[in-house]
Amino acid sequence: MKILKQLSKILFSLYLFLFVQNSHAEEIKNIWSEIEKKEVSNNKLNNVDISNNKNQTQGIKVQLSNENILVDQNLDNSNVLLAGLFDPDLNDLNLEMWTNTNGLEIKKLLEKIQTKKLSSFSERLMDIALLTNSYIPNQNFSIDEFENFTLDHLIKKKNFALVEEFIQKNSSIKNKERLIEHVANYYLSLNQIDNSCSAIDSLNLVQDEYLTYFKIYCLIHQNKKDEAQLLFDLKSELDLLNDFFVKKFEVLMGYEDNNFILSDENVLYFHLSHRTDKNFLYYPSLESDEFVWKYLSNSNLLKNLNNLDLSDIDQIKFLEKATSEGISEEKDLLKMYKKFQFDIDQLINFDETYKTLPDYEGRALLYQRFLLTDNMENKFLLLSQLANSFENSNFKKSFDDELSKILKKMDKNEIPSKYLSFYENNLVTAENKRNKIKFNNEVFHQSKVLNYFLNKNSLPKTQKITDNLISKMKKNKDYSFNFKDVLLLQSLKYDGIEISNVDELSQYKSDLNPEIEKIINNNESGLILLKLVEIIGEKELAELNSETLNYIIEIMNRTKLISLRNELLLEILPLKV
């Protein structure tokens, strides 16, 4: 071991010598380069052109006043492009979507939105707002500030495919290390070491301490121990190394046999704890970080969850937590709830009994009572209480799939009206979106006029279909245009379809407030997207009331956000099979 370390020091000394020699040569080269730049700069100043060209990106402007040079600190950002993924034309936007907006307004709204857990459609709007290629706002918002909001959004989403695509398309982004660390940690938590190191390898120069340790480990994993040793020695010469990492490094390099020190400070240290301890054993708690659960699960290190002792509260909560993290099956959790023993009085008077029980036992009571009832209203009361109990305990994902399966078995026509929004909101969204639209020409908002919003019909053909349907429904004295019909009619009218003799159009008219009117008139489409996110917030589209939906559609029509409006309409209007 000592021989290896001495050899390492010799190699490191040679490396430093070559490094210094190369640096000395580079320094001389840079000095001559700077002299040449100054000469060129002086020649330009003698023949300076003071014309303002707004089509060129400018940094600090130089103005001549008598013989003095004055520096104007106001930056012209008019042609500075933000990092992004989407072409603005895809969503009826343009490169100037932020240009007319005061950066202070954008920051204020983004900071407010960041505190919310956004619904799926709100997330969609935020993706478009922050990931569309566009120019930076002209005032009070630097490119670094804007990109930090974008990175925060990407990290919060945990959509790693999207993050990797963003990194590939924006390789020169200043704070790329934050995203690289995010991706590397994710893959390492899944015990996919090659993918994790591939992310680290995409960094040409590593400055962050944590990523430097990650790089050293990856070099060892890739059997490049000489390079790992050089980087380790260079790092140790420049900084004081973390003692935990040093001890793990010695084991990984073969200088020591084993090391039993354990750390769950981050996913790298946790992985190194596992790699360097032949008898590694770890029992997570309810407070353990998400990466711990993922790593243990993907490394087959979790204890058996099938034989739980119902008298052990920690074991029950352990299973609930594991289910929420996707480690254990939801059906196994429900099977465990069925094992609890309740007497007949507790089951009959479940509403009073539930209030006296701890949360996990209360969930078992609600589930058993649900299985015993035939009354549809009671079924939905119990399901909604059970779903709320999971959410209040931060275990919402423990019941998502099974709840959706239960709801799919129910006849929608038998569902009490007050539970319709609960029903629609808790069906698995991804599956709903795959469903095909079922047309019903007896109801206007479910008719074949929807083909226009699917881009299947031209405007003239849609005009003919609309006229025929309105005429047909006017002849039916029992038919009255409801709110959803009017949403569709208003959108058709904004797109150029002539609508006549529908009195309900004026009944549902929505007046925008002066602030929104001002933003629309000033062509601040980026800020409009953020305002829509603020309005929708944490609510899914099925949860929005008619007034709010009408307001949103009116804004989208006025702002000509046609693609997003169509997406929204096709989510809330048609029947799906």
Average pLDDT for 436-457: 89
Q: Are 495 and 562 in contact (CB under 8 A)?
A: yes
Residues 6 or more apart whose CB falls under 8 angstroms from that of 283 comprise: 303
Q: What pLDDT does 195 receive? A: 93
How far is residue 419's CA from residue 274's CA, in Å, rounded to a whole number? 49
How far is residue 565's CA from residue 528's CA, in Å, rounded to a whole number? 13
Residue 456 has pLDDT above 70, yes or no: yes
Q: Can you spell out the DSSP letters for 335-352?
A: HHHHTS---HHHHHTHHH
Of 56-70, 278-292, 507-521, the one with minimum mean pLDDT is 56-70
Residue 281 has pLDDT above 80, yes or no: yes
pLDDT band at residue 306 using 50, 70 and 90 as cut-offs: low
Residue 309 has pLDDT above 80, yes or no: no
Residue written as tokens 């120019």?
135
Burial 186-203 (b: 16+ CB within 10 A, else e): bbbbbbebebbbebbeeb
Q: Which two tokens stand for residue 388?
A: 């709320």
pLDDT band at residue 16 using 50, 70 and 90 as cut-offs: very low
Average pLDDT for 7-22: 47
Of 39-48, 293-302, 306-315, the one with minimum mean pLDDT is 39-48
pLDDT band at residue 301 using 50, 70 and 90 as cut-offs: confident
Average pLDDT for 316-326: 81
pLDDT band at residue 77 using 50, 70 and 90 as cut-offs: low
Q: What pLDDT does 270 receive? A: 96
Regarding predicted confidence, which is higher, 411 or 4? 411
Question: Rounded mean pLDDT of the chain?
Answer: 82
Give the pLDDT confidence of 95-149 residue by residue, as tens digits: 999 999 999 999 999 999 999 989 999 999 999 999 999 999 988 999 999 999 9
Domain boundaries, the chain: 88-275, 313-434, 437-576
Q: Residues of the chain with pLDDT > 70: what percent? A: 82
Q: Can you spell out the DSSP letters for 101-147?
A: SBHHHHHHHHHHHTTS---HHHHHHHHHHHHB--BPPSBS--HHHHH
Average pLDDT for 369-382: 91
Average pLDDT for 237-252: 92
Q: Are 80 and 57 in contact (CB under 8 A)?
A: yes
How far is residue 524's CA from residue 534's CA, in Å, rounded to a whole number? 15
Give the pLDDT confidence of 192-240 residue by residue, as tens digits: 999 999 999 988 778 899 999 999 999 999 999 999 999 999 999 988 8
Residue 396 has pLDDT above 70, yes or no: yes
Q: What pLDDT does 326 receive? A: 77
Give the pLDDT confidence of 30-49 residue by residue, as tens digits: 433 443 444 444 444 344 33
Give the pLDDT confidence of 149-181 residue by residue, as tens digits: 999 999 988 888 899 899 889 988 888 899 999
Distance of CA 52 to the CA centre of its chain: 41
Q: What pLDDT does 32 receive? A: 36
Q: What pLDDT does 577 receive? A: 58
How far is residue 111's CA from residue 21's CA, in Å, rounded to a whole number? 49
Residue 23 has pLDDT above 70, yes or no: no
pLDDT band at residue 305 using 50, 70 and 90 as cut-offs: low
Residue 5 has pLDDT above 80, yes or no: no
Q: Are 190 and 294 in contact (CB under 8 A)?
A: yes
Residues 6 or more apart whose CB falls under 8 angstroms from that of 407 comprise: 383, 423, 426, 427
List 331's β-bridge partners, or say none: none
Residue 62 has pLDDT above 50, yes or no: no
Angle of the 267-275 helix axis to the 290-298 helix axis, nearest 10: 30
Q: What pLDDT does 198 receive? A: 92
Q: Are 100 and 523 in contact (CB under 8 A)?
A: yes
Q: How many helices (H) and strands (E) does the chain have?
A: 28, 4
Q: What pLDDT does 307 receive? A: 61
pTM across the whole model: 0.71
Q: How many CB atoms lie within 10 A of CB 516?
A: 20
Q: Residues of the chain with pLDDT > 90: what percent? A: 49
Hey, what's the torsion of the CAs at 76, 77, 80, 82, to 10 degrees? 170
pLDDT band at residue 308 using 50, 70 and 90 as cut-offs: low
Residues 6 or more apart whose CB falls under 8 angstroms from that of 247 comprise: 256, 259, 261
**What are the φ/ψ torsions at residue 88 (nearest 5 degrees)?**
-60, -30
- Rg (C-alpha) for the chain, rounded Å, is 31
Q: How many CB atoms lie within 10 A of CB 161?
A: 8
Give the pLDDT confidence of 50-61 residue by residue, as tens digits: 333 433 333 323
